Amino acid sequence: MIDSLFLHFQLIFKYASLYFYFYTAGRSFLMLVNKFIFKNLNIPQRVLFTKSSLLFPIIGVAYIGNLLIILNYIFPLKILIINIFLLLALIGNLFEINLKIKNKITLNNFFNLIVLPSILIVSSYDTSWHIDAGYYHLNHQNWLLESNMILGQVNIFWAFGMSSIYEYISAILWFDRSFILIHFLTIIFIHTFFMILIEYIREKKDHELYFASIFILAFSLLDNFGVDGGRNGFIYIQGVTKQDIPVAIIFVLVSLWSFLIIKNKKSTSFDLMILFLLSFFIVQVKLSSVVIAYLLLIVLIVMYKPLFKGKLSELKIFIPTAIFFFFWLLKGYLTTGCFLFPLSSTCINNFGWYIANSTESFESITTTASYSLIDYLYQSKSITDWWDSFYSYKINRTVLLNFVFSFLIIYLFKKLFFKVNKFPLFLKISLFSFILVNLTYLSLYGPTPRYAVGTLLVVIGSLGFNVSKMRVNINANLFIVLYFISIFFLVRASSYQAFLDTPETVLFDPVELAKYEPSIGDWVKPDVGDACWINLKCTMEKENIYIDEGTFFKTAFKDL
């Protein structure tokens, strides 16, 4: 037990260090943007209806990820100069130094910054690699560490084209070969999400977010009950390297903030800058999040007159996102030959390394692997065939049934214990059409539970937007208790058992275990399965690949 506690304190220290770095990076970014774009000295205390300091870590992740994309054009991510840039990225903090530590020592901060992460970190004892980690995530991170940008990198392995900004951030966390910091990267998003929820419930500054948070909290508790023991579409702790949950968390937050902007018909330029930056970030992490653009378009329509009409200077809110967008889009184009890989219609180029029409097969792989309705329609199958196939898969059926039951229980709870108002018409149209667009997109291109978490949370949270007040008084302390119960049960029971039984994490260094056999040319492949893990000479491609070192950029070609 003493060994377990000692290891846990070590993990808490590692997590706190990572959290602090991204916290200060996010603060630095906002200080720089505020000073040089908005010509202000101080960051607002609240941004997007939220205490600004709560958003620093996830903004920091987005900032550092985009900085690494830019740097990787020139440098491999493992060299010393990258670390220098990562330190320089914190320079914005020097514009305002707050050393009043005494004001930070509060019971609320103790629970948020000590107790909450201490619980979430227990997941480390029973959370191992996601199945895709060995398939492509880790080896792509390895290439980022060892080389600057490679033209045609998709030729080395097609799945590298599916990799995201998350790989760049994860790659710099390899200095600890326990790889635990990659797991902690996802924990930062979960940690932030719960802190924001409890802030909305405690402070009650915006009653829409207050009631939305109560319903999401209820949804999280119901996640532990139901068909096959539970799981209703609430967030969960994924295998290491997978990024669906961070995407879902930012997706639901951006959606709720956007709904409130649409309802109030007001916002600040600074808030909109952050809203667009975080929205773009989730697209960088997972391209399918592009449906958030529908909601942002509505926000722009609502805010056009009060903010933009006759004020071209307000277009400055797009500057950070536009800069990051340019480098991200160009990087994708130069490494895959497509503006949006694997969407084959965007593959317009005359690159000598690009294989004509090759992306169509990759596009097909991504749809057939996730019960996409569009794939069934291409095969002239009926919607009934698609539904039977989708519903026959156990996890799909479990999550769907439990979500329906949870929604009905929360809706009944709302009717019995809350007074409601009519939705403002434009908000109602915006909200329901956005949910419909999301559900349609999911059905067409990938209705798997892990892709749907963000949308399902939006559905639950939206129930709070026409609530005026509670019919009965509920002690605020009850919500605090339920909040910690929710966090406690988010971590699997097996993780707590592992913490008590074995003082070690289950992540392993795959270099020590992976075995390979000769493939084509100088390349190797796994002796069993399709996981290359961490080996730059390994690929699952069936054609020989040769890499031209070039003058500045390497270029990957395939022999056909």
pLDDT exceeds cutoff 70 at 200: yes
For the chain, give the percent of residues with pLDDT over 90. Answer: 80
Q: How do residues 133-181 score in pLDDT, each as one tens digit?
A: 999 999 999 999 999 999 999 999 999 998 899 999 999 999 878 899 9
Q: What does residue 498 show for φ and ψ, rounded to 5 degrees?
A: -65, -40
Distance (Å, rounded) from C-alpha 172 to C-alpha 299?
35
Mean pLDDT confidence for 493-508: 91
pLDDT exceeds cutoff 80 at 310: no
pLDDT of residue 99: 64
287 Cβ contact partners less than 8 Å away, ≥ 6 residues apart: 164, 340
Distance (Å, rounded) from C-alpha 396 to C-alpha 449?
6
Q: Could you tell me if residue 50 is inside a domain?
A: yes
Residue 544: pLDDT band by 50, 70, 90 thresholds?
Answer: very high
pTM equals 0.96
pLDDT of residue 101: 63
The region, left, alpha or beta by phi > 0 then psi within -120 to 50, assigned to residue 423 is beta
Q: Which domain holds residue 274?
A: 2-512
pLDDT exceeds cutoff 80 at 368: no
Residue 558, H or E segment: strand 554-558
Average pLDDT over all residues of the chain: 93
Distance (Å, rounded) from C-alpha 466 to C-alpha 419?
9
Q: How do residues 423-465 score in pLDDT, each as one tens digit?
A: 999 999 999 999 999 999 999 888 899 999 999 999 999 999 9
Mean pLDDT confidence for 27-39: 95
314 compared with 184, residue with greater pLDDT? 184
Residue 367: pLDDT band by 50, 70, 90 thresholds?
Answer: low
Mean pLDDT confidence for 271-286: 98
Buried/exposed code over 351-389 (b: 16+ C-beta within 10 A; e: otherwise): eebbeeebbeebbeebbeebbbbebbeeeeeeeeebeee
pLDDT of residue 419: 94
327 Cβ contact partners less than 8 Å away, ≥ 6 residues apart: 66, 69, 70, 73
Q: Could you tell me if residue 552 is inside a domain?
A: no
Mean pLDDT confidence for 35-53: 94
Compute the CA torsion angle 187, 192, 195, 199 (nearest 10 deg): -170
Q: Could you tell me if residue 372 is inside a domain?
A: yes
* Greatest mean pLDDT range, 91-100, 240-249, 509-518: 240-249
pLDDT of residue 188: 99
CB 394 within 8 A of CB 228: yes
pLDDT exceeds cutoff 90 at 256: yes
Mean pLDDT confidence for 371-376: 80
DSSP 129: B
Residue 2: pLDDT band by 50, 70, 90 thresholds?
Answer: confident
pLDDT of residue 270: 96
Mean pLDDT confidence for 68-93: 98
Q: How far is CA 297 from CA 22, 302, 416, in A?
A: 29, 9, 35
Which residue in 235, 262, 141, 252 sits closest to 534, CA to CA?
141
pLDDT exceeds cutoff 90 at 358: no
Mean pLDDT confidence for 106-124: 94
Q: Could you tell me if residue 545 is inside a domain?
A: no
* Greatest mean pLDDT range, 39-48, 62-71, 435-444, 496-505: 62-71
Distance (Å, rounded) from C-alpha 348 to C-alpha 337?
7
Q: Could you tell me if residue 540 is inside a domain?
A: no
- Count of domains in the chain? 1
Q: Could you tell me if residue 387 is inside a domain?
A: yes
Q: Could you tell me if residue 400 is inside a domain?
A: yes
Residue 100: pLDDT band by 50, 70, 90 thresholds?
Answer: low
2 compared with 63, residue with greater pLDDT? 63
361 compared with 533, residue with greater pLDDT? 533
CB 316 within 8 A of CB 38: yes
DSSP 304: I
195 Cβ contact partners less than 8 Å away, ≥ 6 residues apart: 54, 112, 116
pLDDT exceeds cutoff 70 at 470: yes
Q: Could you tell me if residue 532 is inside a domain?
A: no
Bridge pairing between strands 467-470 and 554-558: unpaired
